[in-house]
A and B are shown apart, each in its own frame.
Chain A
Amino acid sequence: RKEVEQDPGPFNVPEGATVAFNCTYSNSASQSFFWYRQDCRKEPKLLMSVYSSGNEDGRFTAQLNRASQYISLLIRDSKLSDSATYLCVVNGHNQGGKLIFGQGTELSVKP
């Protein structure tokens, strides 16, 4: 089993759609959780850190369920500029800063 697993994608959606990304992680001792977005041929950029209480930033909402070891990202009213690959990332416990990446889910928002 992979340490971090994401929906395989790709997701193709029309503008204005709501998109949900799901991710599970295997190490229950994991400490911190992130969503990064990566545009084609660019570097990963932090989108959101994810907390147990859930957090929202405009159209983006992230949730963490530690009991189920499950992380989600919801994008509302999707825009063309949201097209990118979304990476679910987990920072393990006592792993010296090693990030564990999911395989990424590609999103394509069409007009």
Chain B
Amino acid sequence: DTEVTQTPKHLVMGMTNKKSLKCEQHMGHRAMYWYKQKAKKPPELMFVYSYEKLSINESVPSRFSPECPNSSLLNLHLHALQPEDSALYLCASSHFSGSTDTQYFGPGTRLTVL
């Protein structure tokens, strides 16, 4: 079973709101990822967690704050977002964060910032 789940499916928030996106996998994967995807563009990596530790931050603004409470869960906390942050946010996981590991994506959260 290569399932990654994400909640919520859709989220609309104002620029002053605080919200969180959640991602879960039960495949025993030790690497988890957050990507952002705008329409007609490929996904862009935001963060990588390896063994529950942040290993890559692709210079993401601090209004996005990732958290990995345990090996199965990954959160993305959102605060003071801008309308240009509206996008599809994808979570992915892989066995490890090595260069030969296949990443499996969740269905994404479609975020709209008003």
By a beta-carbon cutoff of 8 Å, the part of chain A in contact with chain B is 30-32, 34, 41-46, 49, 87, 91-99, 101-104
Contacts and interface: CB of A to CB of B under 8 A. Distances in A.
Nearest to A95: B99
A104 B106 CA distance: 19
Contact of B99 (A49, A97, A104): A97
Contacts of B108: 42-43
Given A43-B105, A91-B101, A98 B41 contact: no
Nearest to A49: B102
Contacts of A98: 45, 48, 56
Given A31-B99, A91-B99, A91-B101, A97 B106 contact: no
Given A32-B99, A102-B42, 11 more contacts: A34-B102, A43-B108, A45-B105, A46-B104, A91-B100, A94-B99, A97-B97, A97-B101, A97-B103, A98-B45, A99-B103
Contacts of A45: 105
Contacts of B99: 30-32, 91-95, 97
A60 B98 CA distance: 26
Contacts of B41: 103
Contacts of B101: 32, 91, 97
A97 B48 CA distance: 8
A104 B33 contact: no
A13 B108 CA distance: 29
A103 B102 CA distance: 19
Given A44-B43, A102-B42, A103-B42, A97 B33 contact: yes
Nearest to A34: B102
Contacts of B43: 44, 99, 101
A45 B3 CA distance: 11
26 contacts: A30-B99, A31-B100, A32-B100, A41-B88, A42-B107, A42-B108, A43-B105, A44-B43, A44-B105, A46-B104, A49-B102, A92-B99, A96-B56, A97-B48, A97-B56, A97-B94, A97-B96, A97-B97, A97-B101, A97-B103, A98-B48, A98-B56, A99-B45, A102-B42, A103-B41, A104-B42
